[in-house]
Structure 1
Amino acid sequence: MYKILVLLLSCLLWQTSHADTFYPADNGYFEYVGRIDFSRPATPRFWAPGVYVTARFKGPRCEIVLNDEMLYGTSHNYVSIIIDNKPPVRQQLLGKSDTIRLHQGLNDGPHTIVICKNTEAGIGYLEFAGLRCQELLPLPVSPIRKIEFIGNSITCGAGSDQSAKPCGQGQWYDQHNAWKSYGALTARRLNAQWQLSSVSGIGLIQSCCGMSFTMPQVFDKINMHRDSILWDFANYQPDVVTVTLGENDGPQDSARFCQAYVGFLKKLRTYYPAASIVCIDSPMADPTFSPVLQRHITAVVAAMQDKKVSKYFYSRKYQSGCGGHPDLAEHQLMANELTTYIKKLKRW
């Protein structure tokens, strides 16, 4: 039986072989997916949930070096680490600079490792500094298919994972898990790359929780939470874009909401001329708001008069996680639904 990898932080003793080499983040063998600031190539910086780095290495051990912003001096990001497609290890970082050491259960390889940011921009950025291992190897060809999932806390995977701390304990981000969110799951099932463009609390015309910006205002940014650093859409042209917005807007004037939704979709079309766009309802919406949102989405899709814009409504509500969010099991069920829909839509 595969042994769960033991993660030991830099405060623990570590005997590194003289044969091991440190490969900095600007090495061409690393693959990055997501909105990333490469202005400092040796420490690429990323905020969004679900950004992931993939590498392939030889040897029975490796070290991952990450820098955590430690926003407000106290916030610590979570990551998921996956080796050879085995069950992920979810790890919270502990300091400004973290060395995560992986060795138990590894043979000489080669091995493929994925490092995924589980928490969102509101918890601060991560910087990938590099990998120490016996030998860094070139990766096989990446999946050609690409999907982008636009949304709010649901898409972030917020409130879904109680493996470390139950609901109501710890910080608001302790139950985040982007790796196991419906978007990431759907993409992996369809053999596609993914990008989560999502912020907890965000809306189309009104956001919650004192947030002063909406998705149309910040969508063109790398750090959506601070509306900063322009993103180059040429870097990632998805085949499919899903939009899950409206929960945080709540009941609004229908004409104003639909007009804003149509405007946002038209902007998306300028960024992604060939993409299929799927407008999705909220799996959290209460019985009063749910039919209202579905009517709005139906009207918006009709108004677009675009054959590549469609809608999908979940078969049921998914609200068993923290704060009424979907839990991990429900993200699996949501991914089941979306995988079936997108597979048929794209004939994948």
Structure 2
Amino acid sequence: MRVRIFLITVTLLLCQRLLAKSHTDSTRYPAGHKYIKIIGRTDRSNTAGPRFWASGVYMTIRFKGSYCVLEIKDEEKWGKSHNYLHIIVDNSTPVRMQTTDSLNRIVLASGLSDGEHEIVVCKDTEASIGFLQPTAVICPQLLPVRKVPKRKIEFIGNSITCGMGNYDAAIKCGSGEWYDQHSAYMAYGPQSARLLNAQWHLTSESGIGLIKSCCDKKNIMPQIFDKTNIATEGIAWDFKQYQPDVVTVCLGQNDGIQDSAAFCSAYVNFLQTIRRQYRRAEIILLTSPMGDKPLDSTLRRYITAVEQNLHQLGDKRINHYFFQNRYIGGCSYHPNLQEHTAMAAELSAYIRKRMRW
């Protein structure tokens, strides 16, 4: 399977600069076209095209014809960072690739039948790697996306939710850049959403905590929850754009074991902030899948206390799910792909039962 994915990826990279020139029936559609569906926190104020930073933001393109090309800009942060993408054509085996320049022309598909097709393009890397800005889609005929799931989920968390360290098929752990093993598309959140036929948003960043972040990170989640780019305190996010049915919160790994009063008080305040934005959402508090026994035990106690406190205050739509195992088989003791799949199976089963989906 890895060999096949590698060969497909190489083929895409080799032909991406050649394909569009060979077609005379091409139409260039702006990336902001109403037929192109982008799900995730997106800034649409730039006339060149929509920009998005967050892990897991995905666009769906439906078209008629044998090929489709995407023109996309990478922020190319620090002059060298390049985002990874997952590309899925007609629900086939996902292909992962990386941008190579600030301006990229990517052949999403070629040699297809002349019928109708659908492609999903998902940002695998997180906000701190920089934004992606699709500028155009080139294909014979763009079509409206046929059906978008009505169910909506938002996954709030840290590097685990981003999918850090879960994908080492191309570059092994400990090699390359720190983000080379990111795959948000295959993280537990998007996998859970797909199992539940739901849309997803990931509001997550590596190193982030509830009251204390790691790795010299200045911000904590409550400070950036309302931002379009959660790596900074910049553009405000309009919560009316996406009202989830379910919100999961997976924080605490980077905080470590903190004073119970300080942690629980901050957690209650943060959940009340979430509730002000999402009046009807079911909010599910999660333990850390990476947590060792002392941290896991502590988080279980703190989460239980927070849940009980909010129930007493009248919010009965806050509940919890405690992961059954510790998942540390990936890079830097993060969950690997198989473990993210197991986590998604656990969590989606709980959500399905809780929501009667």
> What's the TM-score once normalised by structure 1's chain length?
0.97
Comparing 37-46 and 118-127, the one that deviates more = 37-46
Q: Among 310, 334, 344, which residue is 1:325 paired with?
A: 334
Distance 1:341 1:161 in 2: 26
SS at 1:248 equivalent: coil
Q: Among 327, 336, 343, which residue is 2:345 paired with?
A: 336
Structure 1 residue 232 and structure 2 residue 238: aligned?
A: yes
* Equivalent in the alignment of 1:86: 92
> What's the TM-score once normalised by structure 2's chain length?
0.95
Structure 1 residue 302 and structure 2 residue 308: aligned?
A: yes
Distance 2:79 2:64 in 1: 36
* Equivalent in the alignment of 1:59: 65
Post-superposition shift, 1:102?
3.6
SS at 1:230 equivalent: coil
Deviations 1:26-52, CA, capped at 9 Å, x for gaps: 211011100000002441100000001
**Which residue type is aligned with residue 83 of structure 1?**
V
Q: Are the equivalent residues in 1 in contact too, given 2:72–2:136 (CA < 8 A)? A: yes
Structure 1 residue 160 and structure 2 residue 169: aligned?
A: no
* Equivalent in the alignment of 1:7: 12
Deviations 1:214-235, CA, capped at 9 Å, x for gaps: 0001100001101210000000
Q: Are the equivalent residues in 2 in contact too, given 1:79–1:115 (CA < 8 A)? A: yes
Q: Are the equivalent residues in 2 in contact too, given 1:9–1:98 (CA < 8 A)? A: no
* Equivalent in the alignment of 1:27: 33
Q: Are the equivalent residues in 1 in contact too, given 2:165–2:335 (CA < 8 A)? A: yes
**Which residue type is aligned with residue 168 of structure 1?**
G
Give the number of equivalent residue pairs. Answer: 347
* Structure 2, unpaired ranges of 5+: none
SS at 1:8 equivalent: helix
Q: Among 109, 112, 118, which residue is 1:106 paired with?
A: 112
Structure 1 residue 176 and structure 2 residue 182: aligned?
A: yes
When residues 299 and 39 of structure 1 are mapped into structure 2, their CA distance, relative to the original with a 3 A threshold, is same
The structure with the largest helix share of the pair is 2
Distance 1:240 1:13 in 2: 44
Q: Are the equivalent residues in 2 in contact too, given 1:58–1:135 (CA < 8 A)? A: yes
**Which residue type is aligned with residue 320 of structure 2?**
K
**Which residue type is aligned with residue 280 of structure 1?**
L
Deviations 1:324-345, CA, capped at 9 Å, x for gaps: 1000000000000011000000
* Structure 1, unpaired ranges of 5+: none
SS at 2:140 equivalent: strand
Q: Among 281, 284, 289, which residue is 1:283 paired with?
A: 289
Q: Among 150, 155, 161, which residue is 1:149 paired with?
A: 155
Post-superposition shift, 1:270?
0.2
SS at 1:335 equivalent: helix
* Equivalent in the alignment of 2:354: 345
TM alignment of 1:209-224, pairs within 5 A: 209-224=215-230
Q: Are the equivalent residues in 1 in contact too, given 2:67–2:111 (CA < 8 A)? A: no
Runs of 4+ in 1 over 2 A off after TM superposition: 2-6, 8-16, 102-105
Q: Are the equivalent residues in 2 in contact too, given 1:9–1:99 (CA < 8 A)? A: no
Q: Among 171, 194, 199, which residue is 1:188 paired with?
A: 194
Paired-residue identity, %: 52
Post-superposition shift, 1:10?
7.3
When residues 73 and 9 of structure 1 are mapped into structure 2, their CA distance, relative to the original with a 3 A threshold, is farther
Distance 2:13 2:172 in 1: 23
Distance 1:54 1:231 in 2: 21
Distance 1:100 1:11 in 2: 5
When residues 10 and 231 of structure 1 are mapped into structure 2, their CA distance, relative to the original with a 3 A threshold, is farther
Please provide the CA RMSD for this pair: 1.4
Post-superposition shift, 1:124?
0.6
Post-superposition shift, 1:19?
0.7
When residues 141 and 301 of structure 1 are mapped into structure 2, their CA distance, relative to the original with a 3 A threshold, is same
Q: Are the equivalent residues in 2 in contact too, given 1:9–1:100 (CA < 8 A)? A: no
Distance 1:143 1:174 in 2: 30
